[in-house]
Chains A and B, each alone.
Chain A
C-alpha cells in the first residue's frame, strides 16, 4: 500500500441472485437488476438520500439508448439524485475495473464513498436492425427528393428485416470465447477430469457457503429467486462426465456446458469508502483495496490465447507490490471456464512460460488449492459478464473480514484479450 495515499476500504456488497438465461429474470432489464442491487446495498447500509461520491457500473450487452444506464439506476434508487454515475464497459472485467476507478478516486481524496457495480442480461438482450436496413434507413433520412427516396425504398429486401442479434464472439477472429479457450485448453494440455473437478468443487463450495449463511448479507432475493439459479449442490464428477463437449473439436475436446459458465442474468454492487467516511457512518471496514493491474495480450496475431491476459497482469501486480504468489490467504480466480483456471495455475508453475514470457528466473509456483475460490465462483454462481467483478470483490472482502486479517488476490479474464487483477488486504 503506498504510504503517501490514504486507504480505500471495501465496506460490503450486495447482488441479486444470478439467474440462467431466459429463466427468472427473462423480463427484467439491466436497469431493473442494477437498481435492485443498489437498493439492496442502500438498505443494508442505510444510505437512503445520501449523496455518494459516485456510482460506477457497467455491462456488456446493452442497448445504445442505455448510454447512461447507471445514472438512470441511481435516479430510480433510494440514493440521493445528486449522486453522479457513469458506465464502463470492459467485458468480463467491467465491475472489477469500476472498483478500481472508485478505489483510486477515494485514495486520491477526490471522493469519500462510492459504489462499484456491474450488470448484464442475456435474456433481455438488445436486438439491432440488420446493418443493410440500418444504412438504407439512414440514407433515406438524408435524401431530400421524392424520387431519390422512392429509389431507396425500391432497394428494400425481405432479408433485411432479419434483425442482427448480439453475438458472443470476438470481432477480429469470429470465434466465441469458448472456442478461443478450447485452443488454449489443448495447447496447455488441460484434461477433462481437471476441469470437471474444478466445476464440481465450485458448486459444492457455493452451496456450502449459502448453507452457512455466508451470503445472507451479500445477496438479496429478486423476483422470487433466492439463490443463484445455476447452482447445483448435487453436482458430481459422474454427472459432468456424461456431458458432451460444446467447444473445440476432435477426440480431446473437453469443454462442456458443465465446466463452462452458462449465459447468465444479474447485477452486483460493492460499497467502497475512505476509512474516515466509514468511521463517520459507524460502518465497519471489511478489507482495503491495495492495488490493481489491468493487462492485455495480442491474441489476434501473437501466441497468447484470448483469456491469457491475467497470466501476465498478475505477475506485474505481484512485482510492484513486492509479493510472491504464495503470499495470499485467498485466491479468487474467475471461472469463466474451468480450463481457464487450470491453465492459469499451470502457466505460473511452468518454468519455460515464466522464463520466456514473463522474464522470471523462477516460476511463480503453485498455490494452495484450499485457498482458491473457497466459496465457489462463476461456474456455480453463473457469470453475468459485467456483474462478476463486484461479486468477487464483496465476497473476498467478507472472507478476509471473517478471517480477521489476510490478503487476497483477484484475477479475472476478459474478452478482447484482457485481464484484470487486484489485491485486497485486511490488517489484523
Chain B
C-alpha cells in the first residue's frame, strides 16, 4: 500500500513550516487504539442544558470508564487540556435555548486537546414533546457537524448521539467507542440509540474483550478491510469464520490462521451459497452471533460506457448476495436473539460518485436493506446496521490515479484517508453484545467527508 507521503511530510519538522507558509492542508496524525490505552487520556468536561434527562446515566458511564469528569464552570481552573467535551442537550426545548450550546462550548472548545472528542446528546424529534422542542433538537445536528469541521484539523471529532426514551441503559458501548481512539476516523455522525431493555443489552465482563464468546463471520476476509475486520473482531475475543471466494483461499488460510479463526471458501454469488453457508454453520455449532457483509467489488465506468456485465456483477456481489445470505441466516434461525448483522455500504452510496452508478446503487441498496430489516431484527432482540466507509487506504485506493487519490484523501475534516482498522473498530462496536440499542444506523467512517449528507 502506498502510504500517505504528504501527511508524513506535513508532520515533519521542515515540512510543517513549509506547509503552514503555503497555507496547504496540514493533516493531523490520528491517534488510534493500542492495547492498554485508557478510553480517554485526559479529563472529560461534562455539561448539561437545564432540564436534560441524561446527566445521571452519562455521569455513571464516565465513572465506569474511569474518566476524570470536570464541570464547565471549573474546567478552566483545574488546568490541563480536556480530552473530551460531553454535553447533554436533551433539555433544549426551544430555539432561543440553543444558546446553551454556545455558552458551554464557546469558553472550552479552544482548550480541547489534540485527538479530542466532542459528544452531544439529543432526544429524537418525535419524542421531543412539542414542535418547538423538536425544532430545537434537530437544530443541534447542524451545530455538531460544524464543530466537527472546526476541530478536525487537530485530529478531533464531534458526534451527535440521539437517545430515545428507554435507550438510556444502552449508551455505554457507544460512549466508550466515541470517546476512545477506536473512533479515530468516525466524524460528524448522528447516531441513534433506541429503547432497549436489559435483555437486549449485555455489558461485557471485560470491555477490552467485549466479543468474548461471540461467534462471528466476515465475508471478503482474505484481504483489505475484511482482513482487518476479522482481525479486530478476533482481537476483541470473537471466534471468526473468515469467508472469501475459492481463488482467494491461500490468503484466506493465512488470515484465519493468523487470528485463530476458521476459513470457508464460498462464492457468495453462487445460487447454492446461502444453503452451503447454512450447512456449514449448522454443522459447526449452529449459530452466528455477528455476521459482517463486507465482500464487495467495483467495476467503474460511466453509465454510457458501462458494459452490462459490470452492472450485473457489482449489484450481485454487493447487494443481491447480501440479501440472499441475510434471508438464509434469519430464516434458518442461525442468527438468534442478540444477533448482529453489519453491512458495509459506502459514502458513494450516500453521495453518489461519477463512474460508479452500479457501485453506488448497490451500496445505497445496502442501506435500504438494513433499514428494511431493522424492525424485524428488533423483534428478535437482534440488530442490523451499516457502516459507510469514505476514503480508506487499501490496495484498491493505492491503485487510483494520483490526482483522484489525493483529492479523496484531503476532502474531509481530518484531511486524510482512513485505515481499514477504522472501519473494523466501528464494526466491532456495532456487533458488541452491549450495543443492543443500535439498530438501523448508518455510520459513516469517512473523517466527515465533504461530499454527501
Contact = CB atoms under 8 A, between A and B. Distances in A.
A36 interface: yes
Contacts of B276: 213
B261 interface: yes
A58 interface: no
A82 interface: no
Contact of B264 (A217, A219, A226, A282): A217
A46 B260 contact: yes
Interface in B213-271: 239, 242, 246-250, 252-254, 256-257, 260-267, 270
A395 B381 CA distance: 41
A189 to B, nearest CB: 43
Given A221-B246, A282-B284, A282-B285, A43 B272 contact: no
A44 B266 CA distance: 12
Nearest to B285: A282
B262 A39 contact: no
B239 A46 contact: yes
A42 interface: yes
A39 B265 contact: no
A78 B262 CA distance: 12
Interface residues of A, number: 23
Contacts of A42: 253, 257
B253 A40 contact: yes
B246 A213 contact: yes
B358 to A, nearest CB: 26
Contacts of B265: 216-217, 220
Contacts of A331: none
A44 B253 CA distance: 7
Interface in A6-39: 36, 39
Nearest to B250: A221
Contact of A213 (B263, B267, B285): B267
Contacts of B270: 213
A49 interface: yes
A45 interface: yes
Given A42-B257, A46-B239, A221 B283 contact: no
A43 B263 contact: yes
Given A43-B256, A78-B257, A284-B284, A216 B246 contact: yes
Nearest to A218: B265
A222 interface: yes
A33 to B, nearest CB: 12
Contacts of B285: 282
- Indicate the size class of the contact surface on chain B: 20 to 34
B262 A44 contact: yes
Nearest to B276: A213
Contact of B284 (A36, A40, A220, A283): A283
Contacts of B266: 216
Contacts of A78: 257
Contacts of A130: none
Given A44-B263, A217-B264, A39 B253 contact: yes
Nearest to A284: B283
Interface string A76-93: 001000000000000000
Contacts of B264: 44, 217
Q: Which of the listed residues A39, A42, A221, A284 has the most CB atoms from chain B within 10 Å of its own CB?
A: A221
A40 B244 CA distance: 14
A285 to B, nearest CB: 10
A48 interface: yes
Given A44-B262, A44-B263, A282-B285, A226 B247 contact: yes
Contacts of B252: 43, 220
B250 A220 contact: yes
Contact of B261 (A46, A220, A284): A46
A220 B239 contact: no
Contacts of A44: 253, 262-264
Interface string B329-358: 000000000000000000000000000000
Contacts of A222: 250
Contacts of B263: 40, 43-44
A39 B257 contact: yes
B221 to A, nearest CB: 11
Given A221-B246, A221-B247, A213 B262 contact: no
Contacts of A213: 246, 267, 270, 272, 276
A212 to B, nearest CB: 8
Across the A-B interface, the 4 shortest Cβ-Cβ residue pairs:
A43-B253, A43-B256, A284-B283, A78-B257
7 contacts: A40-B253, A42-B253, A43-B257, A43-B262, A48-B260, A213-B272, A226-B246
Given A43-B253, A216-B246, A217-B264, 13 more contacts: A39-B257, A43-B256, A43-B262, A46-B256, A46-B260, A46-B261, A48-B257, A219-B246, A220-B250, A221-B248, A226-B247, A283-B283, A284-B283
